[in-house]
């Protein structure tokens, strides 16, 4: 039998899916954590395609993925979203696609989910704060939705907006950032096959704290570009303003590509701590996705366009 070193063995090979799902349901129950809404009704996402874009690095345990979060609408502490988002109402839900396109349309979660085949994409995620995770997301390329909208020649950028409602998200008032949360991508970045419209993780619908019912996942950029609980996607002619660059333009740029050579003004970005590991590891250019995305930035000064 071929013996491989641990990092080359997939978690899903070691632990059959049903076993890891059951085990973490048990753990979640034992810890008194609320499970994803709808999950009790069996809202699992099935018939997932495998993806050539998946990494085979060991996955971050479900518990860390769902209890160590940034979702400022529910509080600024890492444990706050899991605690404070349990009652977040994500049904009914509407996502509006609008702006410079021939087919503007409003989707509910079901019609959105059915738009294209769902894939499991195991991505490395790198947060600007210096930690990283490996997460088995579920979704399909955002390009599938954008193609259906038929962007016109005027569309050069895509602007994204999160749900915000102060009664559901009373902690938002103390978030220290302008809400609703906004993000943006260049149209070619948004159309790139790595950019995922995401509905789930670890085989299930997204837990509220991870951005239910639908979020973005952009694995070669710092985690804050991966906007949660999306309600609006607008095809734009100009570069949209984004939450973090509004709040601190010196520290957060529009591109926010993972780049170990460009430090954050207050700390180095050269290395990262993978959640669950002790030693730091070197951060890779474009978070290791350079072979796929580097051509998007040919001729662009990545120090100026951070």
- Which region among 38-46, 49-57, 67-75, 96-104 touches ligand MTE (by CB under 6 A)? 67-75
71 binds ligand MTE (CB under 6 A): yes
Return the residue of 11, 20, 62, 72 that touches ligand MTE, per CB under 6 A: 72
- Which region among 70-78, 89-97, 185-193, 270-278 touches ligand MTE (by CB under 6 A)? 70-78
Element (H, E) at 158: strand 157-162
Contact 204, 36 (CB under 8 A): yes
- Residue 281 vs residues 139, 198, 227, 232, 267: alpha-carbon distances, Å: 28, 27, 26, 36, 16
Instruction: Please measure the distance between the N-terminal and C-terminal CA atoms of the chain and give it in whole angstroms.
Output: 47
Residue 109 or residue 210: which is nearer to ligand MTE going by CB?
210
For residue 270 the two structure tokens come to: 């050269």
State the nearest-atom distance from the C-beta of 164 to ligand MTE, in Å: 8
256 binds ligand MTE (CB under 6 A): no
- Which region among 9-17, 36-44, 226-234, 256-264 touches ligand MTE (by CB under 6 A)? 226-234
From the list 179, 206, 200, the residue with the least C-alpha distance to 82 is 206
- Which region among 39-47, 66-74, 144-152, 274-282 touches ligand MTE (by CB under 6 A)? 66-74
Residue 72 or residue 199: which is nearer to ligand MTE going by CB?
72
For residue 61 the two structure tokens come to: 């345990």
- Which region among 21-29, 32-40, 136-144, 220-228 touches ligand MTE (by CB under 6 A)? 220-228
Degrees, nearest 5: CA angle 296-297-300: 155
Residue 88 or residue 181: which is nearer to ligand MTE going by CB?
181
State the nearest-atom distance from the C-beta of 131 to ligand MTE, in Å: 9
- Residue 300 vs residues 79, 215, 294, 296, 306: alpha-carbon distances, Å: 38, 28, 10, 9, 10
Return the residue of 123, 157, 199, 224 that touches ligand MTE, per CB under 6 A: 224
Return the residue of 229, 242, 259, 283 that touches ligand MTE, per CB under 6 A: 229
d(CA 189, CA 192): 5
User: Which x/- pattern over 174-193 shows residues binding ligand MTE (rule: CB under 6 A)?
Assistant: -------x------------
Compute φ and ψ for 71, nearest 5 degrees: -155, 80
Report which residue's Cβ sits closest to ligand MTE. 223
Element (H, E) at 104: none
Q: Which residue has the tokens 């396109």?
A: 101
223 binds ligand MTE (CB under 6 A): yes
161 binds ligand MTE (CB under 6 A): no
What residues from 6 to 65 belong to the interface with ligand MTE (CB under 6 A)? none
d(CA 122, CA 227): 18
Tell me how far the alpha carbon of residue 254 is from its chain's centroid: 16
State the nearest-atom distance from the C-beta of 125 to ligand MTE, in Å: 6
d(CA 228, CA 208): 9
- CB-based contacts of 298, cutoff 8 Å, min separation 6: none
- Which region among 8-16, 26-34, 109-117, 225-233 touches ligand MTE (by CB under 6 A)? 225-233
Residues in contact with ligand MTE by CB under 6 A are 69-73, 127, 162, 181, 210-211, 223-224, 226-229
């Amino acid at each position: 039998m071929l013996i491989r070193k641990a990092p080359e063995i997939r978690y899903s090979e070691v632990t059959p899916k049903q076993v890891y799902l059951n085990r973490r349901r048990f753990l979640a129950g034992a810890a008194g954590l609320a499970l994803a809404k709808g999950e009790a009704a069996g809202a699992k996402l099935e018939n997932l395609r495998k993806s050539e874009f998946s990494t085979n690095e060991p996955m971050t345990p479900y518990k860390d993925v769902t209890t160590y979060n940034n979702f400022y609408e529910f509080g600024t502490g890492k444990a706050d979203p899991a605690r404070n988002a349990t009652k977040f109402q994500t049904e009914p839900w509407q996502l509006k696609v609008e702006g410079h396109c021939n087919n503007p349309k409003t989707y509910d979660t079901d019609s959105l989910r059915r738009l294209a085949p769902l894939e499991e994409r195991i991505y490395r995620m790198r947060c600007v704060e210096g930690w990283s995770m490996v997460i088995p997301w579920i979704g399909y390329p955002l390009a599938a939705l954008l193609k259906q909208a038929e962007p016109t020649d005027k569309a050069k950028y895509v602007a994204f907006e999160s749900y915000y409602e102060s009664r559901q998200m009373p902690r938002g008032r103390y978030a220290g950032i302008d809400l609703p949360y906004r993000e943006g991508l260049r149209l070619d970045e948004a159309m790139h096959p790595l950019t995922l419209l995401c509905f789930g993780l670890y085989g299930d619908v997204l837990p509220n704290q991870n951005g239910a019912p639908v979020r973005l996942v952009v694995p070669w950029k710092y985690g804050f570009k991966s906007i949660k609980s999306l309600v609006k996607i607008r095809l734009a002619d100009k570069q949209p303003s984004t939450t973090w660059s509004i709040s601190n333009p010196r520290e957060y740029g529009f591109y926010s590509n993972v780049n170990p050579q460009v430090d954050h003004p207050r700390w180095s970005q050269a290395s990262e701590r993978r959640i669950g590991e002790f030693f730091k590891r070197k951060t890779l250019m474009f978070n290791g996705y350079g072979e796929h995305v580097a051509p998007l930035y040919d001729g662009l000064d990545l120090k100026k366009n951070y």
